[in-house]
Structure 1
Amino acid sequence: MTPDMSAVAEVLHARHPELATETMDDGRAPQARANSPLIRCGNELVAVMSMPAPIPDDQGLWARAATTWPESKAVAARHRGHLIVSMLGKSEQPLVAARVTTAVIGALIATMPECCGVVWAGRVARPAQLWLEMSNWSFAQFPDYPFTLWIDTLPFRSDAKIGAITMGLSAFVGREIEFVTGKLTLAAMIDKVAGLSVYLIEHGNVVKDGDTIGATENERIAVRYENSDVLGGLPVFYCTDDFKH
């Protein structure tokens, strides 16, 4: 399942014509370009490595994926190889790396119909078709880039309240969001978590321990740095709208 990187570069440019894209042949003969593991995407270099073995099994990953992708575990059980896609060098802006890598993965799926899914940063699994569609927006302006490919939002119940916790945001800002509310509906809470997630992805960790955020008095949210009881002690922004008056 070795990709034709020349074809990937062509598809990548067709999907994102604003980017300069090319395979890197390191001075080798032209016919070697198709097998080069490197592709240039804008100002970044991305490596694509073919691995002739399944990814390591992670029951937690597939349990989370099943909430939005019911066939995920069965699809994962059938796969026999995978590609590792990574940007060379560490970008000072995780969002840049996410955009570029997402676009390259989209082009790989477009040229390799046998691709069945994507595991992002070892934490989030998405079906290949969804990735193919949403990766078209890899370079969209804030807040329209496909951050839901990178982050799961998992609802839970906490006594009489409801909550949601993210999985994947820590790759951008070092913490997940854990939000607990006794006021909001599930849909409104998920919207709040999504809005805060994309704001943090865009601006970095600008929310400090003890901050209060919200546009109005009625929307106030208190934020504390804590370790989550919901997800095994992960560092979180613990958010609540439960203010005592």
Structure 2
Amino acid sequence: MTTDGKDQDLNFSVDILFSEPLQFELDEIVAAVNEDFPTCQIKDVGINPSNSLKTDNPILAALEPVEAHDGQMIQMIGIGFPDEEFRNADHTETIWRSGGFGKEALAKHQSYLNVSVKAVNGSLAARFRAARLLNAVTAVFAQLPITLGIYIKWGAHLVSPDHWQNAAEQAMTGDWPLTTWLSYRAGWDAGPDRSSQFAVGYTTGLKQFLPYELQIEAAPIKPTDVIQMLAAAAWMPLQGGSVYEDGNTVGVEEGVRYVLRQPRNPDDSPGDVFVLLHPDSPVDEVAKFGKRPSKARYHQA
């Protein structure tokens, strides 16, 4: 597995949802970011037609980081009115991935602003810095009382303004805000009779940083435990530096060891998901994934 990202999207993008149109000055945003986040300094590129912007008018503006390795251009885009198709779409899965948050923000927002940052290359470090820069710039908007929520496009989920601000603070310390930057979905693996005692789950957004998502097949644990295990399994390669391979085992201290299996594509190339199998899962591992590779490595959080 590589993390060069040649075939992956390096653009990190969020929509900030407001309860009413927002008027703001670019130089005020620059000053606020530079004051709140001294290690993530930004500047005006000098090409913006106006310093004063309002989200009920079309917006196209650009800023840039002082340190080039933090990311490429910071772009701000607005169409001047809410996206009614997006607002009225079925967001059931989005709300699930958002931990129940976001229904009101989606329904009641009257304007929004899209902000994006592109990583300078496909390395994990560059991806982290781009996401951190985006988080810092938009955390300034999250402080406003009219901000209802932030829609994180790579995770297809919403977070509250408070969570987004906390994530920015955490990222400044070099830690990954894994419960904010990624989304998780878990539930009972139940049939029509709803009698199953096995839970399943998956991540969304991990592929923005690595070449795969994570999935837990039927496991005899609660859905809340599935989410905790997915977050721990995401932490190991992102923060801990683990390199996953088919047949590895992962687990938390004094906890259950899960086997990592990677499905193959029709051309026998590695798939873009790692499946975590609980030792007591009813899934037939060999029938579904084949025999394990001979070499195994254990990863522990």
Q: Which band: TM-score by shorter chain? A: 0.7 to 0.9
Higher relative contact order (CA 8 A, sep 6+): 2
Q: How many residue pairs get matched?
A: 230
* Amino acid corresponding to residue 140 of structure 2 in structure 1: A
Cα distance, 1:64 vs structure 2:
2.1
The partner residue of 2:234 within 197, 210, 233 is 197
Whichever structure has more helix as a proportion of its residues is 1
* Amino acid corresponding to residue 95 of structure 2 in structure 1: A
* 1:5-45 deviation line (CA, Å, top 9, x unaligned): 2111111112111233222213x79xx45568222333233
Say if 2:187 and 2:199, in contact at 8 Å, map to a contact too: yes
* Amino acid corresponding to residue 113 of structure 1 in structure 2: P
1:99 maps onto 2:98 in alignment: no
* Amino acid corresponding to residue 161 of structure 2 in structure 1: A
Between the aligned partners of 1:187 and 1:62, the Cα distance in structure 2 is 17
- More displaced 10-residue stretch of structure 1: 174-183 or 77-86: 174-183
Counterpart residue number, 1:51: 79
* Amino acid corresponding to residue 97 of structure 1 in structure 2: A
The DSSP-based 3-state class of the residue aligned with 1:3 is: strand
Question: Unaligned stretches of 5+ in structure 1?
Answer: 228-233
TM-score of the two chains, using structure 2 as the length reference:
0.64
Counterpart mapping for 1:66-145 below 5 A: 67-69=99-101, 72-88=102-118, 90-92=120-122, 93-110=126-143, 112-121=144-153, 123-142=156-175, 145=176
Say if 2:263 and 2:274, in contact at 8 Å, map to a contact too: yes
TM-score of the two chains, using structure 1 as the length reference:
0.77
Between the aligned partners of 1:204 and 1:121, the Cα distance in structure 2 is 25
Between the aligned partners of 1:186 and 1:118, the Cα distance in structure 2 is 25
Counterpart residue number, 2:95: 63
* Amino acid corresponding to residue 37 of structure 1 in structure 2: A
Between the aligned partners of 1:12 and 1:185, the Cα distance in structure 2 is 40
Cα distance, 1:54 vs structure 2:
2.2
Counterpart mapping for 1:12-51 below 5 A: 12-26=33-47, 32-33=50-51, 37-41=61-65, 42-43=67-68, 44=71, 45-51=73-79
Question: Unaligned stretches of 5+ in structure 2?
Answer: 1-21, 54-59, 190-195, 265-270, 282-301
Between the aligned partners of 1:49 and 1:201, the Cα distance in structure 2 is 30
> How big is the alpha-carbon RMSD for the aligned residues of Structure 1 and Structure 2?
3.2
Bigger CA radius of gyration: 2
The DSSP-based 3-state class of the residue aligned with 1:37 is: strand
